[in-house]
Amino acid sequence: MTAVVGRLLHRDPYSGAAHSRVSLETTMFEELPILPPDSILGLAAACRADPNPDKVDLTIGIYMDEAGLCPVFEAIKQAQRSLVEEEQTKAYIPPQGDPAFLDGMIELVVGSEHLAARADSVGAVQAPGGCGAVRLGAEVLKASGTGGKVWISDPSWPVHVPLITSTGLALSEYRYYDPQTHGVNFEGMIEDLGAAQHGDIVLLHGCCHNPSGADLSREQWETVASMAVEQGFTPMIDLAYQGFGEGLDADVYGLRLLLSNVSEVVIAASLSKNMGLYRERTGIAIFVGPDARTAEATVSQAKAAARRNYSMPPAHGALLAGRVLSNVRLRSSWEAELATMCERINTLRTDFQGRLESASGRDFSFVARENGMFSFLGLTVEQARRLRSERSLYMLDSSRINIASLNSDNMDRVVDAVVSVL
Ligand code: LMR
């Protein structure tokens, strides 16, 4: 379809006189397709718009407390108060990121033991959230020019797909979750990853697998580490839930095992969940390589990728996290509060399992076995949609729920609704 889009000013090339002329053109966005809503954010928005006062939102991965609020950590509140008091400028922070944040995060994730062994070979760049870190990691992997592909778990966090493929890297899936056992299909995973080769990247979830909650055991991590060594693929770890599984150090067991064995590891870590800095977009891309030159190269590439995408990192969340990680008192307050959240999620898991089992007579023991915020309830897409339309209970189409959104007020309603569609 054509439309008159306006009068353009036309200058005569000889006389220089200006004339206006009507342009008949297709408008720029006239045929632009309207995309469907995001598979997670769209459902959270649908729940917000639902007028039912008894609605329950189990869609997005946000930690909610007993009152149904996403709390600000006490340590973050204190760091924020002192930051507001002391901050002298809003000038850019360094493009690589806030130094206290970078040091604190490298120590938190990589650990002091590994740092002592290979400090020079670790490079890190602050990123806008874990999402930004995955993207920076993927851009650096793409720039390495090996032509390899990225292996992601089936299923994985849906945003991994556009974040990685938009850099031009190709994707392959490896089997990961077995809906029959509600656990990891390790045989399938190993069989599929048998085809991963030097130059390929294998994306692993450090802990609290999103969306399944099913994690690798320590023995399984060992097998994956041996495969990485033998086959020469590069592991990339998405670490969005450190501290929500078995503890801050236990949750990076697999990651640190890889660091001990494999010469190159890429890590995308987020503080959205474990410091509650969701809206502050606070993450980090860490590149551990064989030597200092490689670390410098990866950092230079990640900084260039940041510059061409969004230029500078957002400061506020990183400045807060840097303060929390480097101050003994704030750090122990943060760790204690995080441990309390993790315990509460585990209690919710046991409670939910018990209530589902007594209401349905079916086995829901997997709910209590899993880690982190998520669990698949094993419902069909049709059942998940019925729960939305008939009971205002919102979960993803895959029946992924956020356990951390359950509380004593909504638990019975959720159990009753789920059992009604079984
Ligand atoms: C989720 O999986 O729900 C979270 O990681 C939030 C998001 O951005 O998708």
Residues in the chain: 422
User: In the structure, what pLDDT confidence band is assigned to residue 211 with cuts at 50, 70 and 90?
Assistant: very high
pLDDT at 118: 84
pTM above 0.85, yes or no: yes
Is pLDDT of 5 > 80?
no
- Ligand 1 contacts CB of residue 40 (under 6 A): yes
Q: Establish whether domains 39-71+334-421 and 92-326 are of one fold.
A: no
Q: Is the model's pLDDT at 272 over the cut of 70?
A: yes
Give the residue among 157, 158, 41, 404 at the shortest CA–CA distance from 414: 404
Instruction: Give the model's pLDDT for residue 22.
Output: 52
pLDDT of residue 293: 97
Q: What is the pLDDT of residue 8?
A: 47
Q: What is the pLDDT of residues 99-136, one digit of tens each?
A: 999 999 999 999 998 888 888 999 999 999 999 999 99
Question: Are residues 165 and 188 in contact, defined by beta-carbon separation less than 8 angstroms?
Answer: no
The reported pLDDT for the residue numbered 166 is 96
388, 410 Cβ separation under 8 angstroms: no
Residue 251 designated active-site = no
Residue 3 has pLDDT above 80, yes or no: no
Q: What is the mean pLDDT of residues 66-74?
A: 97
Ligand 1 atom closest to the Cα of residue 210 is: 2
Give domain limits for the chain: 39-71+334-421, 92-326
Best mutation site among 39, 40, 70, 402 for ligand 1 pocket (most ligand atoms within 8 Å of CB): 40
Torsion sign across C-alpha atoms 390, 396, 401, 405: negative
Cα 278 to middle of ligand 1, angstroms: 10
- What confidence score (pLDDT) does residue 372 get? 97
Is 278 touching ligand 1 by the criterion CB < 6 Å?
no
Find the 127 Cα to ligand 1 centroid distance in Å: 16
pLDDT at 20: 54
Q: Please give the DSSP secondary-structure letter assigned to residue 141.
A: H
Between the CA of 121 and the centroid of ligand 1 the distance, in Å, is 31
pLDDT tens digits, one per residue of 219-258: 999 999 999 999 999 999 999 999 999 999 999 999 999 9
For the chain, percent of residues with pLDDT exceeding 70:
94
For residues 392-405, average pLDDT? 98
Q: Mind listing the pLDDT tens digit for each residue in 278-316?
A: 999 999 999 999 999 999 999 999 999 999 999 999 999
Find out whether the beta carbon of 210 lies less than 6 Å from any atom of ligand 1.
yes
Annotated catalytic residue, options 98, 200, 238, 251: 238
- Mean model confidence pLDDT for the chain: 94
> Cβ contacts of residue 272 below 8 Å, gap of 6+?
129, 130, 240, 278, 281, 282, 283
Query: What residue type is 283 in one-letter code?
Result: G
Asked if omega into 13 is within 30° of 0 (cis), the reply is no
pLDDT score of 119: 86
d(CA 313, CA 306): 8
CATH architecture observed for domain 92-326: 3-Layer(aba) Sandwich (3.40)
Percent of the chain with pLDDT over 90: 91
Question: Does ligand 1 have an atom closer than 6 angstroms to the CB of 157?
Answer: yes
7, pLDDT greater than 90: no
Distance CA 124, CA 321 (A): 15
Looking at the domain that runs over 39-71+334-421, which CATH code has it been given?
3.90.1150.10
